Structure 1
């Protein structure tokens, strides 16, 4: 999604659902691309760019000079994603949806049904849950993304090329539903913030593009779009605003995941200048949420909504408070407060995600070690292990990282680590890659994700020479995947015969499915408990009896 949830994370059970997913995907792709064939013909012909699909042997190529810098940026960075989302064009496509509504009447007394297609990282999830909470409080009916809806919100991600392609595919799929009664298509999220004008121009089925600062106007926009009886062809509404959006309360949410686990955003934005990353361009400068506001949100989530696990998130979570002066509470104080005040009220786990490999003060390390509720698995995206690559990335060098990881493991008993890494950055040599391979073998991360380098607009690395060919990127990434898969399987097997706490997430097929302290929600391994005697959110002590890949098969321990 980490972020690096946007990274390619290892699936929790890669072999069990392959056939089902393959059949579903084949069916859905065929339907999607049949419509996209006609859809692309409908609006690409009026663009200053024309292209034909490489699948049929035709080269891409702009037919007119670029008119503006905006067009140049779209052609280089957004158009490739649009091309990939529609590359399987077929000639017998379905009729493309138009802006003109089919004339169906809308009952003005019925609540407006809104579905959201949620994409991207945990921070995007919080955004979606909060604005859906606003809509619900104002009388809108929130439905699942597969149910009939009057309006569809696609909450997009633009972290890397693959995320852009997936977001555009989701927008096109949502646009196709206008023929079956959906009246409004709204695009939000990072792609809306970053490429608002381009999206409005290039995908005319989009009715509104809404950036972070305008989320408080979503209700008004959707009401206007849905209730209006006859909508003739017009330009999309674009409301974006500044990236440095003031903090607001984020406890009134429509939850998109399990009710017993929640992401708690402690800060927003980033002050680092990593050469590969464009996030500061649309998330702004780093700014910590006020301590009192954060505490109020946490109390509300735990005491009123029954949250048992808080996952602390930001672009740089462990930098919390450092931008507000020396007297401001830091992350260590926040952890101690949660341990002291919220654990007696039902909180069992505090999870640290997105920690930068700096800012681990002695006080923070001590707080992690002394607070039992802080899970002993810290997420620290390291990106690489070669100093040559790290220097080009503008990231901390290995002398700092190695010393930090050793210090953490020495001072925090039973600590496990998770991380993410990028393969194939400009100038990465085979020797650089082998250094990363050896580092992963030596460190034996409990969980790790990998993704291929993606050239991002207005970043130094996008302009560097010695770009690594995509096939080399993918080969190196796959090698890292395979290595980490073996490590995680070995870690799982080493737990056989031991007892471990499992946080129950759901009941499925007569047994329980949960997670160990090493596993973040939705993206990591799972633990199956053969009994079915506990509700979601329960913390169950269980004995590991077997494994399936890196998933665990457990039997609950008898109650004392």
Structure 2
């Protein structure tokens, strides 16, 4: 995060790990600290305090979090920073172990206390010796909550809820983030308008499950109308907003009405991020996914029949306890049959205090790796063929700036590409500024990226 202020107070640097939901928490902490007079800087070596907002979702995320904490602790030992704060999901989940195992860190702030970061840091700077701050994760972002958008100015994440009401056997999120808490439609729309006023053209709606949005509000007050469909209708009316992108739609919550709202909207991009995790009925049952293959296929058919050009992104888990070779082959066949636009694949990671982690029939790492590679090989071929279909077409692209590979190319995304997780459109001819919407004629394609030139309208 590279937002800076000119105050003379202590300088703070953020390292935000994990998902966009965690990133929004970092943005809220940054906004809270800036409101309190702190200066948020872009480099750790410039800071007095470094805050590592950790991820505790899967094993690789935990390792990355620990590594970054140790790196920042080394800077502290070298005298380059004064204080290291460990915050976020890993802190919440392993509070006792982290406090004992990382004596180098100065403060530990769980996901139930991050909203109080300014008070915590201010008191610590004033000499308070309290080191740990943990509470139940019941905080819900309010309209007046200060927040600094760390994304390029034309886009922003918009978090609509906290926690999750699902209890998937592989997932520790409810243990870390608690039960579902939805923001009201009024609060979400108010923030969307504020973001647009600041120059945002694309909002990316994030939660742990978009399709459960509002269930808790309606349960408490049956007169409330907060629901995924009503939220989409309200956001669709926000003037100045050009793209509304939905992330994480659980398949059993994709209703015919929702599909029609998305189909008829000029702002909601026809992009369905729908993590399926598996397709074999027995594996889905063990995962506690509450769906069958038939129901998944019905949801996919409803999308494709109504929105033929919809981009569908999904994720699968391979190597879940007890997954047989035959069940895995069924998954491969399903991927080949469905021809998804985007597929992410994760090797199952047994997590403490989850149903999956307690299962006895765990699968060895070599088998997991083989299955992961087999899924990605099939998907690479599918993606390559799908991208070839773009060659010769002209598409609308949101310019993101120079390419990450070379300053000789511009880089952007068309509506079927989400930032950070999908490919990009590389632009080798024409001029545009970051945040511009331009027409690009596609001249070449790769497995994940497209290449083309800006054309005048």
TM-score range, shorter chain: over 0.9
The answer to whether the 8 Å contact 1:150/1:226 transfers is no
Instruction: Kindly indicate whether residue 118 of structure 2 is the aligned counterpart of residue 219 of structure 1.
Output: yes
- 1:416 corresponds to which of 304, 307, 311: 311
Q: Relative contact order (C-alpha < 8 Å, sep 6+): which is higher?
A: 1
Shift of 1:397: 1.3
Structure 2 residue aligned with 1:548: 446
CA RMSD in angstroms, aligned pairs only: 1.7
C-alpha separation in 2, matches of 1:152 and 1:224: 16
Structure 1 residue aligned with 2:51: 153
C-alpha separation in 2, matches of 1:302 and 1:379: 23
C-alpha separation in 2, matches of 1:246 and 1:550: 36
C-alpha separation in 1, matches of 2:367 and 2:265: 44
TM-score, length of structure 2 as denominator length: 0.93
C-alpha separation in 1, matches of 2:266 and 2:63: 41
Structure 2 residue aligned with 1:438: 333
Shift of 1:161: 0.6
The answer to whether the 8 Å contact 1:151/1:222 transfers is no
The answer to whether the 8 Å contact 1:318/1:331 transfers is yes
Structure 1 residue aligned with 2:262: 368
- 1:474 corresponds to which of 369, 383, 396: 369
- Where structure 1 has 5 or more consecutive residues not aligned to the other structure, the ranges are 1-108
C-alpha separation in 2, matches of 1:116 and 1:278: 24
Instruction: Provide, for residues 235-269 of structure 1, a one-character-per-residue CA deviation record: whole Å limited to 9, x for no partner.
Output: x7111101222332377322222121111111111
Structure 2 residue aligned with 1:191: 90
Please say which of residues 212-221 and 266-275 is displaced more in the overlay.
212-221
Instruction: Provide, for residues 36-85 of structure 1, a one-character-per-residue CA deviation record: whole Å limited to 9, x for no partner.
Output: xxxxxxxxxxxxxxxxxxxxxxxxxxxxxxxxxxxxxxxxxxxxxxxxxx
Query: Structure 1 residues 250 and 399 mapped into 2: Cα distance closer, same or farther (>3 Å)?
Result: farther
Q: Report the 3-state secondary structure (helix = DSSP H, G, I; strand = E; otherwise coil) of the residue aligned with 2:456.
A: coil
Structure 2 residue aligned with 1:313: 206
Shift of 1:226: 4.3
Which residues of 2 match residues 86-125 of structure 1 at below 5 A? 110-125=8-23
C-alpha separation in 1, matches of 2:434 and 2:231: 26
- 2:248 corresponds to which of 342, 354, 366: 354
C-alpha separation in 2, matches of 1:227 and 1:257: 32
Shift of 1:532: 4.7
The answer to whether the 8 Å contact 1:379/1:419 transfers is yes
Shift of 1:306: 0.7
The answer to whether the 8 Å contact 1:197/1:238 transfers is no
Structure 1 residue aligned with 2:103: 204
Instruction: Kindly indicate whether residue 362 of structure 2 is the aligned counterpart of residue 490 of structure 1.
Output: no
Instruction: Kindly indicate whether residue 158 of structure 2 is the aligned counterpart of residue 264 of structure 1.
Output: yes
Which residues of 2 match residues 286-297 of structure 1 at below 5 A? 286-297=180-191
Rg bigger for which structure? Answer: 1
The answer to whether the 8 Å contact 2:49/2:81 transfers is yes
Query: Structure 1 residues 555 and 246 mapped into 2: Cα distance closer, same or farther (>3 Å)?
Result: closer
Shift of 1:412: 2.1
The answer to whether the 8 Å contact 1:511/1:532 transfers is no
The answer to whether the 8 Å contact 2:184/2:226 transfers is no
Q: Report the 3-state secondary structure (helix = DSSP H, G, I; strand = E; otherwise coil) of the residue aligned with 1:541.
A: strand
Structure 1 residue aligned with 2:347: 452
C-alpha separation in 2, matches of 1:114 and 1:519: 33
C-alpha separation in 2, matches of 1:413 and 1:332: 20
Structure 1 residue aligned with 2:215: 322
How many residues matched?
442
C-alpha separation in 2, matches of 1:116 and 1:192: 15
Which residues of 2 match residues 12-411 of structure 1 at below 5 A? 110-178=8-76, 179-226=78-125, 228=127, 237-249=131-143, 252-303=146-197, 305-325=198-218, 326=222, 327-342=224-239, 345=240, 347-395=241-289, 396-411=291-306
C-alpha separation in 2, matches of 1:239 and 1:360: 39
C-alpha separation in 1, matches of 2:449 and 2:306: 28
C-alpha separation in 1, matches of 2:308 and 2:230: 20
The answer to whether the 8 Å contact 1:113/1:143 transfers is yes
TM-score, length of structure 1 as denominator length: 0.76
Shift of 1:447: 1.1
C-alpha separation in 1, matches of 2:169 and 2:326: 21
